[in-house]
Structure 1
């Protein structure tokens, strides 16, 4: 395949919004982040907020504009705690502002647990990954540097506002903020135009993002940070047992999102541990 054609195909793969931090590669038809939770909104119980890593894109067949999946960690948690009201509000493509304005309606003083995965879209990681795949190492590293400046100067205040809003809406809830995993295996691998240095920089950016998110969660009374990176270690793209979907023209929406294994073995246990006070 000619190099120009390959670049054009890769650009098509990554042109759609990723929900990662690293996370989340693209969705071929990204949902409006302000879409309402599907079904009846029930007060109390467990509420799941966030972006496509929380809605479960890449972990199975999705439904509705928000691309919610039965294999997503919130749905798995709810299934294991059947009988409790479950408000699945997470929506593919969501940013922090979208969570505040469109995902809090189901929270109340009776809500006991809130999970959140959001932030990757806020720091522009879609553009980062598209640049890294299509434009070479130098452009990739510059794009990552811009995203990291946003992490440091914009994201902390946005997260503080989010957590204040959640606490106001659900004052008695345990709030668990889940981070993002490394996209690539810890060992360098052949990944198209994404060089070894770029792969390491992408993973380091995930660490940076998680540090910022963890700091804001830990500074907020009633909130906890759930680190999914230890569980995902050895399961990035190019590993023998990857829990991250690689970029693919055949399943654009799943690219760089956790697989069903990643949701079940990575995210779900992290939520379980952090949900205990």
Structure 2
């Protein structure tokens, strides 16, 4: 049954029409002086958006990811893009912070989903039973409320110590499913609701820890509303090939979702 589910979900995804969003934005005098560093996991590197930079290797940094789009539109004085697919708060802290210094003026970061095993949760939900899926989500939420706050606090304090003058923007994750949408196969509504609940819990913790650190937090939920999986106009890949793209924003998800969310507070 689950193999059949995968085939039907993939077929539904491939039927989703493409959407084009205009990006022309004049660079402002203020942004031209920015020294911008983009940190984070696959939601910042741009997995799922395609057009990966040749020097990014398995990090899969994309020219269509929101950090690249913001830099192209605003021509900052410097732009360092160190976000990497698979990153946790710990690996962001240990491997991505070298460009930060006292001259850094703007930082963006997405991190936390891999700390609580998001990818494993999604695999469980696609391949195993409804009850197992819901249990996996509940276990992830327990980690969100248990170990993640300390990990985020450690990362955020290190970012602040290395870039004391920077405006730091923490971005959240999309809500993945439109409930009662147009998906007639695939995960059950119970599974979809559980996954959304997990995303909401993660975003709430990110917002709380960002506020504690004195950082700006920008949700992307509003931007992706109406563009979730099962909406008929999805900006998020469902189960697809390559598998690594699954449950990541499309190029339009970055240009129409993450970029406006970042721009609103950058």
| Alignment partner of 1:259 out of 235, 247, 250 | 250
Please give the alpha-carbon distance, in whole angstroms, between the structure 2 residues aligned to 1:188 and 1:148: 25
**Counterpart of 2:238?**
246
Whether the 8 Å contact between 1:54 and 1:116 is mirrored in structure 2 is: yes
**Counterpart of 1:206?**
199
Matches within 5 A, 1:1-277: 3=1, 6=4, 45-63=35-53, 64-190=57-183, 192-221=185-214, 223-248=215-240, 250-275=241-266
Residue aligned with 1:69, SS: coil
Evaluate the alpha carbon distance shift between residue 165 and residue 4 of structure 1 in structure 2; reply closer, same or farther with a 3 A threshold: closer
Whether the 8 Å contact between 1:136 and 1:193 is mirrored in structure 2 is: no
Residue aligned with 2:264, SS: helix
Question: In the comparison of the two structures, how many residue pairs are matched?
Answer: 238
Deviation at 1:187, TM superposition (A): 2.8
Alpha-carbon displacement from aligned partner over 1:52-78 (angstroms, at most 9, x marks no partner): 000001112223221000000000111
Evaluate the alpha carbon distance shift between residue 83 and residue 205 of structure 1 in structure 2; reply closer, same or farther with a 3 A threshold: closer
Gaps of 5+ in 2: 11-33
Please give the alpha-carbon distance, in whole angstroms, between the structure 1 residues aligned to 2:141 and 2:194: 11
TM-score (ref. length: structure 1): 0.82
Query: What is the alpha-carbon root mean square deviation over aligned residues?
Result: 1.7
Residue aligned with 2:213, SS: coil
TM-score (ref. length: structure 2): 0.85
Whether the 8 Å contact between 2:2 and 2:126 is mirrored in structure 1 is: no
